[in-house]
Amino acid sequence: MTLLLLFPGQGSQKPGMGKDLVEAFPAARRVFDEADAALDASLSTLCFEGPTEELTRTHNAQPALLVHGAAVWAVVRERAAAHVAAAAGHSLGEFSAYHAAGALPLADAVRLVRRRGELMFETGVSRPGTMAAILGELQRPIEDICADASTVGSVVPANYNAVEQVVISGEVAGVEQAMELAKAAGAKRAVRLPVSGAFHSPLMQPAHAGLEAALAGASWQTPRWPVFSNVTSAAVTETAVARELLLRQLTSPVRWVEVIRAMAAAHPDATFVEMGPGNVLTGLLKRLAPSHQARTCGTTAEVGALLASL
């Protein structure tokens, strides 16, 4: 069996995440303990108990999701690693993918995404913005809609999640105008998202220098397998390219449709495995790579099922 690992981004976090893994597997407990030590804070308590509002904060959600994915991977790694052909992650999840590929040590990865979350939150305060999901088939390109709406406030496509699901990001006035234009162009729904800033848009530029320094300060190794980039949808195998693209990701759209299609084309008989809480990415796969098998691996039961299949 050939496996393609997928790691979710912000929005998949929830109180209780990882608790069953820690109770069942010493390897998972070691991951959470190491993360707590790296951050000098009890991230594990926040993951296991919440509260939801605190866990959802950008600087907490990002390391929480990375650590949960790392814990799952630590449990299955010995049996699964030989089967993995490639990995990818949605936004924050791309950092998790590099950790799983051996390119980023856990402590470095946790501190890096904590810093990324802090920078993104601080930028959201200094340059307020928002995001919205546009659902349904549009009668005109979302890029044209955003360009028209930018006459009242900068707005751009931020996440190409599926053919009929795009997230836009930018200044509040621009996003609101784009939502109205999208509905006029046939969108079934246009929904504001509960975020602290205009992620994956030019409004995140003030965070660039800080993230560049954080990326440079981590100890990087060559990934054991390719990680497909959110920015280019191409397979990345060199650390210098990885750092450059993770930096560009800050202000660039997540091209998830292209990522999944590229992975599926390169590995036509592989099984996608979503490593983390929930099934957001697995749900998208049904539309993006319908001929591929897909499964989730975020709970003790799901870990057992994956290991049994190997």
Distances 246 to 63, 113, 150, 267, 271 between C-alpha atoms, Å: 16, 11, 26, 24, 25
The verdict on whether 91 is a catalytic residue reads yes
Number of neighbours of residue 245 by Cβ within 10 angstroms: 18
Torsion angle, alpha carbons of 241, 246, 247, 248, to 10:
90
Contacts of 104 (CB under 8 A, 6+ apart): 95, 98, 112, 218, 219, 220, 221
Catalytic residue among 196, 200, 229, 233: 200
Evaluate whether 253 touches 200 at the Cβ level (below 8 Å).
yes
Structure tokens at 273: 């495995």
Given the residues 44, 91, 229, 233, the one annotated as active site: 91
Output the DSSP codes for 45-65: HHHHH--HHHHHSHHHHHHHH
Alpha-carbon Rg for the chain, nearest whole angstrom, is 19
Q: Which residues contact 299 (CB under 8 A, 6 or more apart)?
A: 20, 21
Strands laid side by side in the 227-228 sheet: 235-236, 227-228, 84-89, 3-7, 271-275, 293-297
What are the helix (H) ranges across the chain? 19-24, 26-39, 43-49, 52-56, 58-80, 93-100, 106-126, 142-149, 172-184, 208-217, 239-249, 256-266, 280-288, 300-309
Burial of residue 126 (CB within 10 Å: 0-12, 13-18, 19+) is exposed
> Is there a catalytic annotation at residue 200?
yes
Residues tagged active-site: 91, 200
